[in-house]
Structure 1
Amino acid sequence: MSGPVKIALVGLGWWGQKMLSVLEAAPEDIKVVRAVEPNADGVRDLCDAKGVTLSTEYADALKDPEVEAVVLATPHSMHTAQIAAAVKAGKHIFCEKPLALTAEEAARSVALCADAGLVLGMGHERRFEPPVADMLAKADSGALGRIHQIEANFSHDKFVTIDRDNWRVKATEAPAGGMTATGIHLLDLSVRLLGRAESVLCICEQLSSDLPQGDTVAAYVKFAGGGTSYVSASLANPFMSRFTVYGSKGWIDIRDKAHVEAPDGWVVTSAMAGGPIETLEIGKAEPVKDNLVAFARAVRGAEAYPITGDHLVNNIALLEAVFKSSRSGQIETVAQPALEKVEA
């Protein structure tokens, strides 16, 4: 097929509306033709203004022959069942993070999509930020040498005033403070750079808010192939996003000027062996859009989607161990289910 990939956007909350907005800039690649939102009255005017068909039932999107793919901006615990239903209906899937809350569920979803020949995209837009993409390319080329360590923080206070009944702060959806909201992106980049994680120690505390699952979390990860990553996140301090990678030939520190909801560019500080420390400012970009466009181009067969099944499963395996360690206070081993052994 040709032309823009026609999608159903499932979930029109804060982030679903963000995606609906940015996709207006990519009409040649992807088009929202349907939206699904249980609270339809709250978004009816928005959908009418955008010319998007609105319904309250996910099944409506799966039965719609015009819909080629679904984009899931839904509570985390719903992803596994929603992906299975989309695969059964023959729809490609783009899922907001995290893919699942257990490694077994993640592996099952990856296997289902692979066996059906369907593209599975993931809401890890951090990979599509220009300085992050450049950093990954340098690491892949060997320009940074052997990667030794990663230090990263992604914090914001957007949830301090959120209703405590909101799914985003419930134990069933978001254990370990901000790890599913922000830290998951840092775990993803760590896995991308250092491979499968071996063990993790996580500390989660409630320090300055009444957020029920804690407001401050830190995880120290050891990787099977060597190297470590320190990932931290707060849901109770002003915005901060920093990712730093240290290698034997150089290091790169990337700091966002603003939350990806309204990106405003980046400040990149780096040094290569024998050279000076340099600082560079990178202009605005829209990585949320760029990730969705990459997904659409993979659906059309124009290019491979860069987030692989192994990356997805390794990330959720690490996330699950983070949850376990946050409860036990002990170093926990990271499980690793084999994709080919997961029953669909």
Structure 2
Amino acid sequence: MKKRPVKAAMIGLGWWGRKMVAVAKGAADDLEVVSAVEPYGDTAAAFCKENDIRFFSDYSAALADLEVEAVILATPHDLHEEQIDLAVKAGKHIFCEKPLALTREGAVRAVKACESHGLVLGMGHERRFEPPVAQMLAAAADGSLGRILQIEANFSHDKFLSLDPSNWRLNASHAPAAGMTATGIHLTDLAVKLLGPARDVRVVCENLASSFPQGDTLSAHVRFKDGGTAYVSATLVTPFVSRFAVFGTKGWIDIRDKAHVESPDGWVVTKTSTGMPIEVSHVPPAEPVRDNLVAFARAVRGETEYPIKGSEMVENIALLEAIIASAQNGQVVTVA
């Protein structure tokens, strides 16, 4: 029998929502975007017509559509909690762009609601699906890196410099703490996966090269409950850079992106293990955004479990909440 793809509605047709519609076409065997919701923008209806999907201006209309099995939320961060609640009540599976919520309490509610209703909750942490990152996580899990001691990570860009000041991404209440909700949240997701729940964090958040109300330059030093530390940088005013390095007693791995994930161009991986020379390799491009959607769809169909656990989602948002608090005054904040 021919496989039946999960029918999904894209909620939000901004920059990233449109990117995901395009990427989803490469996942057609597993997931099909059949409709989209966008309350703002004159071009949304035309975009839907070009992509042969139904256009709704209201979220409730998509939730009432019996063909729609899942929603993909590419919407402002502070809307996620309410939109997830409404989707759960409508019996729809949910793929949510990061961050899941802005507080640990909100993340717990979202995870528990989906679990109690037998619904799959996917997260837009496509970094986990990048081939070198997946290999790094596997090496950490099987003990090849030994005891994980430290993480150094930076995910920064200057894309927001061209945004209109009214854009929600430049609203400190929607997207606080410089680049944390845009990019840094991916780094803390990987750090929590590798080192477990965080214990506390100290943040320096400054405004050095823009008028962004949330600041433009952030660094966070995180300590973890079971030991180990992570240094995370997420700025909004430098040319693109993405680096994730993990250091263990038996080896270390440094992964650098050649281009932003919206147009992936591969990675440079530098690594070594005890007694071995340092190796440098070039990994060809992949499409982690698509692969994440495929994993979500296959979990909806019951073919496999979704690889990002609800507990990891909650711990990451708990750390985000503490980072946002510490960004206000630079004090050490205990993670809930």
Q: What residue number does 1:43 align with? A: 44
Partners of 2:201 and 2:332 within 8 A in 1: yes
- Give structure 1 regions of 4+ aligned residues with deviation exceeding 4 angstroms: none
C-alpha displacement at 1:39, in angstroms?
2.2
2: CA distance, partners of 1:213 / 1:139: 34
Mapped partners of 1:2, 1:195: distance in 2: 37
Matched-pair contact (CA < 8 Å) for 2:27–2:293:
no
2:110 aligned partner: 109
Deviation at 1:107, TM superposition (A): 0.3
Specify the code of the residue in structure 1 equivalent to 2:321: E
Normalising to structure 1: TM-score of the pair? 0.96
CA contact (8 A) 2:3 2:30 kept: no
Provide Cα deviations, 1:193-251, integer angstroms capped at 9, x if missing partner: 00000000011001111112111000000000110000001100100000000000000
How far apart, in 2, do the equivalents of 1:73 and 1:27 lie?
19
- In structure 1, what is the equivalent of residue 216 of structure 2? 215
> Does structure 1 residue 173 correspond to structure 2 residue 174?
yes
Q: Per-residue CA shift, 1:160-199, capped at 9, x if unaligned?
A: 1211111111111111100000000000000000000000
Separation (CA, whole Å) in 2 of partners of 1:44 and 1:287:
27
Distance 1:66 1:174 in 2: 33
Answer yes or no: is the 8 Å Cα contact 1:128–1:291 preserved in 2.
yes
| SS of corresponding position for 1:234 | coil
Q: Please say if 1:79 is aligned against 2:75.
A: no
8 Å CA contact 1:197–1:318 kept in 2: the answer is yes
SS of 2:210's equivalent?
A: coil
Once residues 170 and 140 of structure 2 are traced to their aligned partners in structure 1, the CA distance between those partners, rounded to angstroms, is: 35
Give the C-alpha shift of residue 40 in structure 1. 5.2
Q: 1:265 is matched with which residue? A: 266
Per mean C-alpha deviation after superposition, the further-off stretch among 38-47 and 233-242 is 38-47
Q: Describe the SS at the equivalent of 2:101.
A: coil
Letter in 2 for 1:104: E
Alignment RMSD, CA only? 0.9
Q: What's the CA shift for 1:26? A: 1.3
**d(CA) in 2 for partners of 1:305 and 1:2?**
19
| Alignment correspondent of 2:335 | 334
TM-score by length of 2: 0.99
Amino acid at match of 1:223: F
Shift of 1:25: 1.0
Identity of aligned residues (%): 62
Q: How many residues are paired up?
A: 335
SS at 2:161's partner residue?
Answer: coil
Q: How far did 1:2 drift?
A: 5.1
1:70 matches 2:84? no
1:191 counterpart residue number: 192
Q: Is the 8 A contact 1:242 1:254 kept in 2?
A: yes
2:160 aligns to what SS in structure 1?
Answer: coil
The 10-residue stretch of structure 1 (38-47 or 232-241) with the greater mean CA deviation from structure 2: 38-47
CA distance in 2, matches of 1:164, 1:103: 29
Whether contact under 8 Å (1:40, 1:54) holds in the other structure is: no
| Cα displacement string for residues 10-52 of structure 1 (whole angstroms, at most 9, x for unaligned residues) | 0000000000001111110000011000125212222111110
